[in-house]
């Protein structure tokens, strides 16, 4: 400490109202803790929802269809999406992209090669290529090619391996094996038919359907279909946040339905957001009170040393010197408080990350950048408010 400040310390007693200062500091500490915890909880929750580690790939894509009710049975046009409805979906803020799922208008049969004795009727669907994550040459089809890439739903392979194969005494197959298995695909409409070799290009959780490239579907529907473009009954949308409560509400309001699993976070998120907001709000209120008490404390200290301060100024002490001295008395206090709150949050975060990791949920072991920024901002705010009160009361008393 400057020797001059050491002498000032004997004149300007900051020991007065220690209880008040302690309360203000405690209040500031708790306020900071609440604020930081709220911000950190928000960061963590977002991390749990969106970060790559916690996310399965389907989180970004939702397949939407209308609810099939008893009244609609036998009227397939009622489950179709009209162009107006489609436009409405596209205009929603949470929809980043939307595309039809186009069904095949022809018969499809698949047969396994060799003596696997596998033969089945099936169907194809296609979505715009931008919704497919197998984005390479494996997912391309040009007219004239005899081989079609196909994406299977993961569920399908599971059903086969664990349901069908076991009960029928058939061999279970791995994804790799399936990918190397050429499947004989026959598509037909009446007497017209064509044969292709199906090549499994990948497996998807996103869309539970047998997908072929859009180019193939277009060609085949034109060649083997009715010729008229069919209205889509399923729509796939890409969204940043499938748990967005507004999205869930939109679906409900319009009588649409989707894979409920993917929107299940919506409610949890709403609850967590509310709790986090309430905590943050209390933190803010407490912070305001702490600032108020700090200001009052500074006023008290300066008022109680009014005579001494006047004499100091008379002897030539600059108001700036007095301000610097007083700030130095308080600044370490709230700097320590801030650092303590930050350390506590870091400890909590570390503990939380370990506990969550045990449940295969991964959050960073360190407080987020937002939390650090918030801590700095709060400290800056306290500094500015204190500086202002010191300036004000020194000016009043000198």
Q: Which residue's CB is nearer to other proteins, number 107 or number 324?
A: 324
Residue 283 Cβ vs other proteins, minimum distance, rounded to whole Å:
38
Residue closer to other proteins (CB basis): 154 or 321:
321
Q: Between residues 216 and 325, which has the closer beta carbon with respect to other proteins? A: 325
Give min distance, CB of 320 to other proteins, in A.
Answer: 6
Contacts of 240 (CB under 8 A, 6+ apart): 50, 60, 94, 96
Residue closer to other proteins (CB basis): 74 or 316: 316
Nearer to other proteins, 8 or 220 (CB): 8
In angstroms, what is the minimal distance from the CB of 19 to other proteins? 22
> What minimum distance in Å lies between the beta carbon of 393 and other proteins?
14
Q: Where does this chain bind other proteins (CB under 8 A)?
A: 2-4, 7, 10-11, 308, 311, 313-321, 395, 398
Whole-number minimum distance, CB 396 to other proteins, in Å?
12
Nearer to other proteins, 238 or 324 (CB): 324
Least distance between other proteins and beta carbon 303 (Å): 17
């Amino acid at each position: 400490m400057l020797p001059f400040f050491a002498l000032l310390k004997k004149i300007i007693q900051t020991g007065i109202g220690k209880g008040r200062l302690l309360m203000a500091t405690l209040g500031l500490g708790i306020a900071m803790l609440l604020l930081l915890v709220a911000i950190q909880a928000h960061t963590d929750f977002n991390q749990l929802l969106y970060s790559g580690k916690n996310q399965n790939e389907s989180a970004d894509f939702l397949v939407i269809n209308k609810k099939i009710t008893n009244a609609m049975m036998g009227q397939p046009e009622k489950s179709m999406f009209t162009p107006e409805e489609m436009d409405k979906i596209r205009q929603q803020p949470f929809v980043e992209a939307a595309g039809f799922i186009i069904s095949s208008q022809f018969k499809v049969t698949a047969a396994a090669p060799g003596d696997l004795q596998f033969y089945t009727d099936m169907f194809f669907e296609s979505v715009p290529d931008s919704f497919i994550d197998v984005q390479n040459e494996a997912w391309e089809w040009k007219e004239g090619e005899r081989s079609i890439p196909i994406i299977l739903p993961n569920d399908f392979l599971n059903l086969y391996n664990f349901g069908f194969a076991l009960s029928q005494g058939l061999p279970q197959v791995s994804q790799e094996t399936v990918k190397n298995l050429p499947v004989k695909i026959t598509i037909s409409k009446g007497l017209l038919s064509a044969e292709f070799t199906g090549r499994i290009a990948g497996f998807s959780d996103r869309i539970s359907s047998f997908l072929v490239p859009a180019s193939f579907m277009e060609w085949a529907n034109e060649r083997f279909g009715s010729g008229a473009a069919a209205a889509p009954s399923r729509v796939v949308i890409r969204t940043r946040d499938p748990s967005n409560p507004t999205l869930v509400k939109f679906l409900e309001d319009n009588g649409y339905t989707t894979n409920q699993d993917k929107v299940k976070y919506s409610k949890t998120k709403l609850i967590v957001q509310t709790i986090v907001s309430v905590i943050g709000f209390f933190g803010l209120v407490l912070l305001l009170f702490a600032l108020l008490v700090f200001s009052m404390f500074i006023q008290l200290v300066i008022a109680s040393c009014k005579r001494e301060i006047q004499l100091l100024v008379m002897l030539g002490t600059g108001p700036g010197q007095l301000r610097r001295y007083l700030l130095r008395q308080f600044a370490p206090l709230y700097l320590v408080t801030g650092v303590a709150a930050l350390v506590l949050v870091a400890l909590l975060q570390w503990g939380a990350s370990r506990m969550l990791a045990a449940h295969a949920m991964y959050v960073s072991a360190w407080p987020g950048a937002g939390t650090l920024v918030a801590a700095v901002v709060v400290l800056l705010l306290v500094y500015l408010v204190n500086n202002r009160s010191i300036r004000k009361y020194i000016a009043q008393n000198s």
